[in-house]
Amino acid sequence: MSKILVVDDDNDMCLLLSRFLTRNDYVVASANSGQGAIEWMKKNKPDLVLCDFRLDDMTGMELMGKIKEMHPQASIIIITGYSDVKDAVEVMKLGAFDYVTKPLFPDEILLTIRKALAEGPREVAVTKTAAPAESHSSASPKFTGNGQYIMGDSPEFAAIIKQIDLVAPTNFSVIIYGESGSGKEAIAQQIHEKSKRAGKPFVAIDCGALSKELAGSELFGHEKGSFTGALNQKIGSLEVANEGTIFLDEIGNLSYDIQVSLLRVVQERKIRRVGGTKDIGIDVRIIIASNERLWDAARAGKFREDLYHRFNEFSIEVPSLRDRRQDIMLFAHHFLKLTNSELGKSVKGFTREVEEILNNYIWYGNLRELKNVIKRATLLTDGDYVEVKSLPFEITNFYKLQFDKPAAPAPTERETPAPTPVSTGAPVSYENKLKSANLDAEYEVILDALKQSNFNKSKAAKLLNIDRKTLYNKMRQFKEFNLA
**pLDDT at 477 (0 to 100):** 66
User: What confidence tens digit (pLDDT) does each residue in 244-273 have?
Assistant: 999 999 999 998 889 999 998 999 999 998
Q: What is the DSSP annotation of 367-406?
A: HHHHHHHHHHHHHH--SSEE-GGGS-HHHHTHHHHHH-SP
Is pTM beyond 0.85 here?
no
User: What confidence tens digit (pLDDT) does each residue in 114-137 have?
Assistant: 888 888 876 554 333 333 333 333
User: What confidence tens digit (pLDDT) does each residue in 154-204 have?
Assistant: 787 888 999 999 999 999 999 999 998 888 999 999 999 999 999 999 999
User: What confidence tens digit (pLDDT) does each residue in 400-409 have?
Assistant: 666 655 554 5
**pLDDT at 414 (0 to 100):** 42
The rounded distance, in Å, linking the Cα atoms of 303 and 327 is 34
Kindly indicate the confidence band of residue 281, based on its pLDDT and cuts at 50, 70 and 90. very high
Give the mean model confidence (pLDDT) for residues 197-224: 88
Give the mean model confidence (pLDDT) for residues 419-441: 49
Element (H, E) at 203: strand 202-206
Q: Residue 80: what are its φ and ψ, rounded to 5°?
A: -135, 150
Q: Are 81 and 63 in contact (CB under 8 A)?
A: no
Give the mean model confidence (pLDDT) for residues 197-214: 88
Q: Are 319 and 151 in contact (CB under 8 A)?
A: no
**pLDDT at 383 (0 to 100):** 93
User: What confidence tens digit (pLDDT) does each residue in 358-384 have?
Assistant: 988 888 889 999 999 999 999 999 999
Element (H, E) at 80: strand 75-80
Comparing 21-30, 71-80, 94-103, 329-338, the range with the smallest average pLDDT is 94-103
**pLDDT at 47 (0 to 100):** 93
Give the mean model confidence (pLDDT) for residues 380-399: 88
The percentage of residues in the chain with a pLDDT greater than 70, rounded to a whole number, is 81
Q: Are 403 and 16 in contact (CB under 8 A)?
A: yes
More confident: 357 or 151:
357
Set out the domains of the chain in order of their start, with CATH numbers: 3-119 (3.40.50.2300), 168-319 (3.40.50.300), 338-401+426-480 (1.10.8.60)
Among candidates 447, 477, 449, which has minimal Cα distance to 465?
A: 449
